[in-house]
Structure 1
Amino acid sequence: MLQVAEKRFRIITPYDAQRSLIEEGLRNNQLEWEDKCFNVDSFQGNEEDYIVISLVRSRALGFLADLRRTNVMLTRCKKGMIICTSRRFMQHAGSNSLVGNLLRYYEDHWVERGELERIEL
């Protein structure tokens, strides 16, 4: 969507296997893939208008237990951010992470007031 709308974006994931899979998916769908997908450490110090964050986990907190690195990941966007994860993970293993706290904040403060129509996980 961002690419079709000609928005400046980058994709960040803490997991190299996800980065490789995302790049492959972009390439296979004839989308721009070079210089689009990064692991968190390689993107540190950079920013972009829009950031897509892939946090696909199933059981353990892993990378998200490191607050400093998670903070870096969440502060790279200038205009907007999309976080891709699963509700099940965020309700269990990820619930006490910085991203879990961010999700609760938006659910409590934005969705209630109707300022955000929905949060899709």
Structure 2
Amino acid sequence: MLQAKNKQFRIITPYDAQRSLIEEGLKLQELDWEDKCFNVDSFQGNEEDYIVISLVRSTALGFLADLRRTNVMLTRCKKGMIICTSQKFMKRAGCNSLVGSLLEYYEHEWIEKDELERIAV
């Protein structure tokens, strides 16, 4: 979606395995993948117009318990941010995190994955 609209974006995830999986998915879809996907620590000090944050957790906060690193992740965008996560996780274990607070504030902005393709950025 962002690439098709020639938007400048980067993808950030706290997990290296997830970063690798996302890169492989971009390659398989024949999308630009080089210099697109980063773990949070390697992206610190950088920013981009649009940031896609990939947060996949099931039961524990993990990375989201680290306020400093979470703050880095959430402050890298200039124009917009898309957070990909599980609404179920964020309403349970993630609700007391900084991301949980942000998503609670923007609760009316939740979009299911099949709706995302229809949104114009």
| TM-based fold match above 0.5 | yes
Structure 1 residue runs of 5 or longer lacking an equivalent are 112-117
Identity of aligned residues (%): 80
* Structure label with greater radius of gyration: 1
Structure 2 match to 1:54: 54
Shift of 1:77: 0.1
The aligned amino acid for 1:90 is M
**Structure-2 separation of matches of 1:119 and 1:93:** 17
User: Residues 34-76 of structure 1, C-alpha deviation per residue, up to 9 Å, x if partnerless?
Assistant: 0000000000000000000000111110000000100000000
Summarize the alignment of residues 1-80 of structure 1 with structure 2, pairs less than 5 Å apart: 1-80=1-80
Structure 1 match to 2:119: none
Q: Count matched residues.
A: 112
Q: Secondary structure at the match of 1:63?
A: helix
User: Residues 9-54 of structure 1, C-alpha deviation per residue, up to 9 Å, x if partnerless?
Assistant: 0000000010000000000110000000000000000000000000
Q: Secondary structure at the match of 1:18?
A: helix
Structure 2 residue runs of 5 or longer lacking an equivalent are 113-121
Out of 104, 112, 119, the residue aligned to residue 110 of structure 2 is: 119
Moved over 4 A (4+): none
Per the normalisation by structure 1, the TM-score is 0.90
**Structure-1 separation of matches of 2:103 and 2:11:** 19
Q: Which has the higher helix share?
A: 2
Q: Secondary structure at the match of 1:64?
A: helix
Q: Secondary structure at the match of 2:106?
A: helix
Per the normalisation by structure 2, the TM-score is 0.90
Structure 2 match to 1:84: 84
